[in-house]
């Protein structure tokens, strides 16, 4: 297998491991895509994750955002970006350009 100069992982549970990943890979770039909490709940509801318990879903969503934001404070500005999922859908070209700028890949 060829060595890859860029690779990524989108494992949702990695929100707990951002500090460790940043320590292991100090030059790593982090992309945080924030989705509107109402849309997150709607997706979870369809998967029966919270059995229509809005309060539990909201607390879970907010806790994960808190953990990510706390970890992101320790990461240099040039190594992270937070975008809204809705921006990716509404304005994909500019959003992708912003992401490419942070991760250091060429123009679209």
Would you list the DSSP string of 37-75?
Answer: HHHHHHHHHHTTSSTT-HHHHHHHHHHHHHHHHHHHTTS
Indicate the pLDDT class of residue 39, thresholds 50, 70 and 90: confident
Distance between CA atoms of residues 12 and 8, nearest Å: 12
In the structure encoding, which two tokens stand for residue 13, read together?
């549970």
Give residue-wise pLDDT tens across range 78-93: 999 999 999 999 999 9
Judge whether 63 and 10 are in contact, CB under 8 Å: no
Alpha carbon dihedral 65, 21, 9, 74, in 10-degree steps, equals 40
* 50-72 pLDDT tens trace: 677 888 888 989 999 999 999 99
Q: Is 41 in contact with 58 (CB distance < 8 Å)?
A: yes
Separation between Cα atoms, residue 71 and residue 16, nearest integer Å: 9
pTM of the model: 0.83
């Amino acid at each position: 297998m060829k060595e890859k100069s860029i690779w990524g992982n989108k494992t949702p549970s990695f929100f707990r491991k951002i500090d460790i990943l940043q320590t292991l890979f100090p030059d790593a770039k982090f992309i945080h895509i924030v989705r509107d909490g109402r849309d997150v709940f709607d997706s979870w509801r369809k998967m029966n994750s919270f059995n229509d318990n809005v309060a539990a879903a909201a607390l879970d969503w907010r806790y994960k955002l808190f953990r990510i934001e706390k970890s992101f404070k320790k990461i240099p500005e040039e190594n992270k970006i937070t975008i809204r999922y809705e921006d990716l859908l509404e304005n994909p070209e500019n959003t992708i350009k912003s992401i490419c700028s942070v991760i250091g890949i060429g123009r679209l």
